[in-house]
Each structure stands twice: as C-alpha cells, then as structure tokens.
Amino acid sequence: MHIEVRHLNKSFGSHAAVQDVSFQIERGKLIGLLGPSGGGKSTLLRMLAGLETPDSGDIYINGKRVNDVQPQLRGIGFVFQNYALFKHMSVFDNIAFGLTIRKTSKAEIKARVGELLDLTGLRGFEHRYPHQLSGGQRQRVAFARALAPRPELLLLDEPFAAIDAKVRKELRTWLKQLISTLGITSIFVTHDQDEAVEVADEMLIVQQGRLEQQGSPVHIYTDPQTAFVAGFIGHSSVVEQPASLRGFENTSITAGARALVRPEFVEVGREQEIQFPSAAEKGQVRHIFFRGAHLELDIQVGDNRLSAHRSLDQEPLQPGDEVSVLIHRLYVISDESATMVENPLKVDPLPVHI
C-alpha cells in the first residue's frame, strides 16, 4: 500500500477538525477528497504534507511512518488553492525553485524545467512573471513547480477553485490526463462533487472531520453507505414518511426513518407515458426549471415534494398539470446508514387494462 493513514486526529482549540480517520491509497491512483467546506479536508491534506502536526494517529508513505519527517523532506508536491507562486520570480525560476534547493546542476535544472514547460504547455512563457499570466496559466505553473522535484505524492488543495467555470472544465480534463500519464499518486481536495466524480479514480467523502465512505465514484453514487453520502451525492429530495409513497407502503421501513429520492429515480409524465402506471401515483407540477439539457420539475405528491427530470423532447408540461409519478427506488435512511429499496410494484406489475 502506498499511502496509509491510521486513526488520525486533529483539533484546533475545541474544534475537532479531523476525527479518527483511517484509509489506504494504492500507488498511481487519483483520489478526490470530497466534502462540504470546513469539513476537515484541507486539514487532512495538510497533515499528509506535514504542514500540520496530527494530535494522534500515524501516516505511512511506502510503509514508512512519516509523522516525524519534516515537510521539506517528505518528497511531496503540493499545489495550493491560490497557487502561492513566487511573485518576484519568472515562470522558469518558480518551476526551478525546488531543484535549486536540492543543488541540482544548472544543466539538469534547465532540462527538467524545459520538460515541464512542454508538459504543461507553458513553453514560451518561461520569462513571464506570475502577474502577467492568466488564472489557468498560473495554475499550470503551480502544478509544474510541484512536479519538478519528482515527488512521490502530489497533493492539490482545491486546485480549480480560483478559476472561472469555463477554463475549469478544460483544466480538469487536462489534469486527469496528465496525472494518468505520469502515474503519480495524487490527492485533490474539492467541495464540488461534479469535479470529484469527473476527475477521481477513487473518492474519499469527508464530513465534520470524519471519513464517511471511500470508493470509486460509481460505487459511491450507486451504493452510498451513510445517510450523509446518500444526501450529499446527487440532488436528493427528502421524504419524511416514505410509507406514504405508492409502492413503499408495505416495504419493511422502520418507523421514523426518512427516505432520500434522487431526481433520476423519479419518472414523471402523462399517464400513458409511464411504464408501470399501476405503480405510479398522482401528483401535480409546481414549478418547471429549464436546466439547459433537460427540465427540472418540482412535483407535489401527497405531502411530499420531489424533484424530477424530464427530457426536452417529451411533451411539454405546464405548472399546475396533473401528472403520474413513478418512484423507481429510494434510499431509506435509518441510524445514519442508507439502504436502497426498489419499488416492489414495479417488479411485479399488475395486469394492465386499457
């Protein structure tokens, strides 16, 4: 195992930033550390880097405990949220900084920096200063600078947060490709789930200092293990009394348990459009939001409000329209764990009379 963390704890005053976090990471993986702002992601990352000292717990890199190794000697590359470029140094000198510290020969530095300039597409910009670069270019310089000393592990703290939306998308794709080419183990922090899902090989979901779940994006999406993960990933509606929804009346739901319903679990349409009309119930369209590629519907079903998607190709609906609503499945939340329950009526359809 390349990186291993055992029972890590860190408090700032009375605030517990990281609580009993343990995980393992394989070599060459790109890990997304995802969670709400202020949830302890950055503290975790900074402890790996050695920028913060854990109160207790151990960090192993290549099987070696590094708790007492100074950050300068851990061989970790770090990309800061605001890049933290050296303002008074040219792009070349920024990238070369880590190499000059290691007393690398001039020729070697030149070669390595050249290599990174090509890799990051910054060739031609090496004599510019940070204030003469765009946000995306600065990000690339920060990246090249961190990579120059050939670190074993690359840590990125909210690497795309300071870049505007359009460039951010390009940069994500570019970064994913680059990291997979280099094969360097990388961990990046983000609070943006789309970013994590798109870029990461594996995600660590962190909330209030605790590690909620670790797994591939698909795994986390389809099989959330805790209430928090089920609610945090996707855009779910909360249903206070799942038994009030058609199809779930008799399912074994503990009393008092809530349910989460994702928009993609909900099918909405005129009665004839629905696959299993008998499993559907009546609802009313409250609002319709145009979301570019699709429509988002706000539906009232009994006492519950659900969010659903509808294709632009389908027959248009109006607010106030009476519709059929079929809930394919939902997550039942009890005791902080999440269980997926399929709509039983759908599996065993009743005869259809037209």
- 53, 56, 134, 173: residue in contact with other proteins (rule CB under 8 A): 53
Phi-psi sector, 144: left (phi>0), alpha (psi -120 to 50), beta:
alpha
CA separation for the pair 304, 159 (Å, rounded): 39
In our burial notation (b when 16+ CB lie closer than 10 A, e otherwise), range 56-73 reads ebebbbeeeebeeeeeee
- 17, 33, 49, 332: residue in contact with other proteins (rule CB under 8 A): 49
101 is a contact residue toward other proteins (CB under 8 A): yes
54 is a contact residue toward other proteins (CB under 8 A): no
Choices 146-154, 256-264, 295-303, 318-326; region in contact with other proteins by CB under 8 A? 146-154
> Binding to other proteins (CB under 8 A): which residues in 148-177?
148-149
Q: Which is nearer to other proteins, 86 or 221 (CB)?
A: 86
Q: Which is nearer to other proteins, 133 or 260 (CB)?
A: 133
Nearest to 30 by CA among 150, 180, 221, 158: 180
Q: How far is the CB of 294 from other proteins (least distance, A)?
A: 32
CA distances from 76 to 45, 50, 282 (A): 11, 9, 57
CB 305 within 8 A of CB 240: no
Helix (H, G, I), strand (E, B) or coil at 23: strand
> Binding to other proteins (CB under 8 A): which residues in 81-100?
81-82, 84-89, 97-98
32 is a contact residue toward other proteins (CB under 8 A): no
Choices 50-58, 208-216, 312-320, 334-342; region in contact with other proteins by CB under 8 A? 50-58
Enter the tokens of residue 302: 């009994």
Q: Which is nearer to other proteins, 84 or 178 (CB)?
A: 84
Q: What is the CA radius of gyration of the chain?
A: 25
- 70, 181, 250, 272: residue in contact with other proteins (rule CB under 8 A): 70
- 146, 203, 230, 280: residue in contact with other proteins (rule CB under 8 A): 146
Q: What angle do CA 106, 108, 109 make, to 5 degrees?
A: 65
134 is a contact residue toward other proteins (CB under 8 A): no
Angle 106-119/135-147 helices, nearest 10 degrees?
140
184 is a contact residue toward other proteins (CB under 8 A): no
Q: How far is the CB of 12 from other proteins (least distance, A)?
A: 8
CB 136 within 8 A of CB 162: no
Where do contacts with other proteins occur on this chain (CB under 8 A)? 12, 49-53, 70-73, 76-78, 80-82, 84-89, 97-98, 101-102, 130-131, 145-146, 148-149
